[in-house]
Structure 1
Amino acid sequence: MSSEFESFLTRHPDIVYVDGLFFDLCCVVRGKRYPVADARTLFDEGMQIPESIALLDVTGDCNDPLGRGFSDGDPDCIAAPIPGTLAPVPWGDVPSAQVMLTLRTQDGAPAMVDPRNILERVLGRLRADGLTATVAVELEFFLIDPERGPGQSPRPPVSPVTGRRDTRTQVYGMADLDDFQNVLRAVESACQAQGVPAFTASSEFAPGQFEINLKHVPDPLRAADHALLLRRVVEWVAERHGFEATFMSKPYPDQAGNGMHIHLSLTDADGRNLFDDGTEAGAPLLRHAVGGMRAAMAQSMAIFAPHANAYRRFAPNLYVPVNPSWGYNNRSVAFRVPASGGEARRIEHRVPGADANPYLVLAAILAAAHHGVTARLDPGPAATGNACETVDRALPWTWRRALEEMGRGAIVRDYLGDEYVDLYTATKWIEMEKFQAVIAPHEFAWYL
């Protein structure tokens, strides 16, 4: 990437620093900052960094999962720049740039602790069958007041226009977009500077909640990159405007949660949408893909909902999946086929929370779709009416059960690999045990 870097400096001669960054298992951005005079080393040789950095839990601890960490001497891997990801950082006080990294072993092979490489592994299975996935990600988030409420609870933001705390729940309401237009406009500008294809924003079902959509791209790796970069942009821009932004699945117990909706279609070598055959129902391949998503839902929940709070999001009659239902033009199902046909024929996977790892989410979803297509799975009848009223108790609705299901999940093991499934679940088991070791205030109030 040396030539890409030199060309970038010609266009941006004021750059002072270059950040090499990647996103770990818990979506925490990690890396190093280089003075621009020393950054050529990054593009020529990559960055030496401990391989265990990709397996840290959400608190930043290395818990030595399966002996990866202090037990094996914590060896380095190489973090290599990804072509096409070098971009300016428009929100900093000092002119800076960033480039995304992917982890490689010392001999140059993909390091299979990197979630991005796990997605690449799954894509290899699709490519072997002549399939390309076109993907778009929708992310919901809350703007919140930096000043916390009782017990460190979040509070809705104060409107910059009215000076009053936001209490409205007006889904698709334009007033919320108007009140926070300076933040949303700055997000749009930063996304343009960084090549992130964000194109619409809407207010959602709770005070201070918004959704930003990303355009469809025929490269799931880039789609996941875009989702993580969008999160980074939103968080930084919000802070610069006196707010905080959170993608936490369920920050308010009595309000809607934050989802990550994945829109997916499969195309052949000629770019033809294989989910569409000109009929109202769509092609059989679409239904087979849905069948795979239904079959893999239980064993993928530990990825879609990666921590204790994420399971609070699932409740009846909140337009959140509580069973493996599917249907046409129906937002109450887990796997929705939108009304659009032709080249826009697709499946919307509505299960993951907004704080899940997009690389792993897409890896699990594409693995499920490919499994369904190759096994020609029948999804059963499409749901009509309200499908999110009845909870399917066979699915894992707790963190512990989800980890158990993933640990024995044949589909995720086949596609993501035994090693990564074991590393992921080991990391999350330890994180869960640490979480449960903390006594919450209401335990004292109820039981002391």
Structure 2
Amino acid sequence: MNDGSLTTDLADEVDTFLKTHPETEAVDAFIIDVNGNALGKRLPASHLRSLVRNGVQFSACAPILDCRGLGHNPAGLGGEDGDPDGTAMPVPGTLAPVPWAARPTAQLLCAMGEAGTGAPLWHDPRAILADIVARCRADGLFPVVACELEFTLLEAARTPDGGIAPAALPRTGQRPRAEANLSVEAVEEHAGFLGRITDAARAQGLPLAGAVAEYGLGQFEVNLDHVADPMAAADQAALLRRLVRGVARAQGQEATFMSKPFADQPGNGFHIHVSLVDAQGRNRFSQPGGETLLRQAVAGMQALMLDSVALLAPNFNAHRRYLGLFVPTSRAWGHNNRSVAFRIPAAGGEARRVEHRVAGAEASPHLVMAAVLAAVHHGVTRELEPMAPIVGDAGTRRDPAFPDGLLAALSRLERSRRLAEYFPRRFLAAYTASKRGEYADLIAQVFPREYDFYL
């Protein structure tokens, strides 16, 4: 269980919060699962003090459930084990208001642990990331990271055939007909929505760094500031996804981080920027020897990329994104080049970094962060050397070994000896079993278009 000082800190946090927000009626206490989704319970605000002392109990298999919150008995979890409860313990510093909620509500991020002891569960993505961050730091590697997430704003109502449509423009009430990449006018068109995201992020203490219009119809990118705590960065990315969806629903629309919501439009990506700092917080990539260190980090990303695809693209739809523009399917890297998997942005000095561009926006922020940092550690500690950097368009290059779809990616992940040095082997087995079960349920029904092909 948490030690006394931690409990005291949380109790003080609750007291301060309730003094500031005395109108609070309920609190959402949740974990973040392998899909990046929030799973947990809504409790009366009067339970907050008990919650920080004792946590909240619900199914211990929750972290490994599929995208719908359903179980497939991976590694016996949630089935053969009798589906026991675990104890979700609050994460200090995450108690915050939920500005988009219909009634005054708070939220509290938790970490799933064993019932009774509170020991971290081996299948909790936060526990896996924590172990990899600790390993990096033990070897003198201190990552500073920033997350970028793309999403698409949609109409809430489905089309007659069950499809989706981009959200109508507030000014005209009509759906957008043309792309508006980097358009300031497109940002202003949705200023009310984006402003509500900014206000909610400020209320929740999320370091939002801005928003831009992207290539797709109704597509935007939201960025978070660089932070020296990768766990906090992954938490913030997951909470930002929840925030964006919540704000959209509060105004009668939907926001999706689905990797490829429209076949003829660009997909949604999740990019992570990484640098390494020294004990004084100075960027080691810009110090003497920094170019060698950066190259080693890139080489590690190249070495682990193909084995990690099932973590970076965790479902059937996510693999559609790899057919699109500026979506890397090779291990190419380069300077100031958005067509590569691992981009070195034009910024220099303290801003020198690597941008990992492979993941889809719906992937687990904690597992993607874990995969990226494992790759950096792998490359630096083994002093690997990357392939030659690419000049020009790498977007049409596909690595012959790039997994051909979800099932191939899952098989490669499950067999990976390199990733098993960082991720528990039993987690890789449980994750792949859960994702295979999700895929089997998806294709169990006939798709309408199959009739056009095979009737």
**Structure 1-normalised TM-score?**
0.97
Matched, 1:236 2:243: no
Equivalent positions of 1:184-263 (< 5 A) are 184-263=194-273
Number of the residue aligned with 1:100: 109
Which amino acid is 2:310 matched to?
A: A
Picking from 143, 147, 162, the partner of 2:157 is 147
Matched, 1:354 2:361: yes
Number of the residue aligned with 2:382: 375
- Cα distance in 2 for residues equivalent to 1:357 and 1:328: 27
Per-residue Cα deviation, 1:94-135 (whole angstroms, up to 9, x for no partner):
212111000112323211121111110111110111221111
Equivalent positions of 1:112-191 (< 5 A) are 112-191=122-201
Picking from 302, 315, 338, the partner of 1:331 is 338
Picking from 4, 27, 33, the partner of 2:13 is 4
- Cα distance in 1 for residues equivalent to 2:435 and 2:215: 30
Picking from 298, 312, 331, the partner of 1:304 is 312
Number of the residue aligned with 1:398: 405
Q: CA deviation at 1:154?
A: 1.4
Picking from 413, 417, 420, the partner of 2:420 is 413
Number of the residue aligned with 2:73: 64
Matched, 1:445 2:435: no
Which amino acid is 2:190 matched to?
A: F
- Cα distance in 2 for residues equivalent to 1:358 and 1:129: 23
Picking from 36, 43, 48, the partner of 1:34 is 43
Q: CA deviation at 1:16?
A: 1.3
- Cα distance in 2 for residues equivalent to 1:372 and 1:272: 20
- Cα distance in 1 for residues equivalent to 2:358 and 2:35: 18
- Cα distance in 1 for residues equivalent to 2:299 and 2:46: 53
- Cα distance in 1 for residues equivalent to 2:188 and 2:150: 18
Instruction: Give the share of equivalent positions with the same residue, in percent.
Output: 46
Q: CA deviation at 1:278?
A: 5.8
- Cα distance in 2 for residues equivalent to 1:258 and 1:307: 14
Does structure 1 retain, via aligned residues, the 8 Å contact 2:89–2:118? no
Which amino acid is 1:3 matched to?
A: D
Does structure 2 retain, via aligned residues, the 8 Å contact 1:118–1:363? yes
Does structure 2 retain, via aligned residues, the 8 Å contact 1:156–1:167? no
- Cα distance in 2 for residues equivalent to 1:416 and 1:268: 26
Q: CA deviation at 1:427?
A: 0.8
Partner SS state of residue 97, structure 2? strand
Matched, 1:294 2:302: yes
Picking from 87, 90, 106, the partner of 2:99 is 90
Which amino acid is 1:126 matched to?
A: C
Q: CA deviation at 1:29?
A: 1.2
Runs of 5+ unmatched residues, structure 2 = 1-9
Which amino acid is 2:223 matched to?
A: N
Which amino acid is 1:306 matched to?
A: P
Does structure 1 retain, via aligned residues, the 8 Å contact 2:214–2:220? yes
Number of the residue aligned with 2:4: none
- Cα distance in 2 for residues equivalent to 1:300 and 1:370: 15
Does structure 2 retain, via aligned residues, the 8 Å contact 1:51–1:113? no
- Cα distance in 1 for residues equivalent to 2:392 and 2:443: 39
- Cα distance in 1 for residues equivalent to 2:186 and 2:89: 41
- Cα distance in 2 for residues equivalent to 1:96 and 1:315: 41
Q: CA deviation at 1:234?
A: 0.8
Number of the residue aligned with 1:434: 441
- Cα distance in 1 for residues equivalent to 2:363 and 2:69: 16
- Cα distance in 1 for residues equivalent to 2:363 and 2:151: 12
Does structure 2 retain, via aligned residues, the 8 Å contact 1:278–1:342? no
Q: CA deviation at 1:59?
A: 2.4
- Cα distance in 2 for residues equivalent to 1:398 and 1:248: 16
Q: Which moved more, 1:255-264 or 1:53-62?
A: 53-62
What RMSD over aligned residues (CA atoms) do the two structures have, in Å?
1.3
Number of the residue aligned with 2:84: 75
Number of the residue aligned with 1:423: 430
**Structure 2-normalised TM-score?**
0.95
Per-residue Cα deviation, 1:174-199 (whole angstroms, up to 9, x for no partner):
12111111000000000000011112
Number of the residue aligned with 1:16: 25
Partner SS state of residue 285, structure 2? coil
Q: For this pair of structures, how many residues does the alignment match?
A: 445
Q: CA deviation at 1:289?
A: 0.7
- Cα distance in 1 for residues equivalent to 2:156 and 2:97: 27
Does structure 2 retain, via aligned residues, the 8 Å contact 1:302–1:403? yes
Number of the residue aligned with 2:5: none
Does structure 2 retain, via aligned residues, the 8 Å contact 1:368–1:411? no
- Cα distance in 1 for residues equivalent to 2:251 and 2:30: 24
Partner SS state of residue 101, structure 1? strand
Q: Which moved more, 1:354-363 or 1:158-167?
A: 158-167
- Cα distance in 2 for residues equivalent to 1:16 and 1:163: 35
- Cα distance in 2 for residues equivalent to 1:337 and 1:171: 22
Which amino acid is 1:68 matched to?
A: L
Q: Which moved more, 1:297-306 or 1:53-62?
A: 53-62
Per-residue Cα deviation, 1:10-67 (whole angstroms, up to 9, x for no partner):
2222211122111111222111122122221111111122211112111221111121
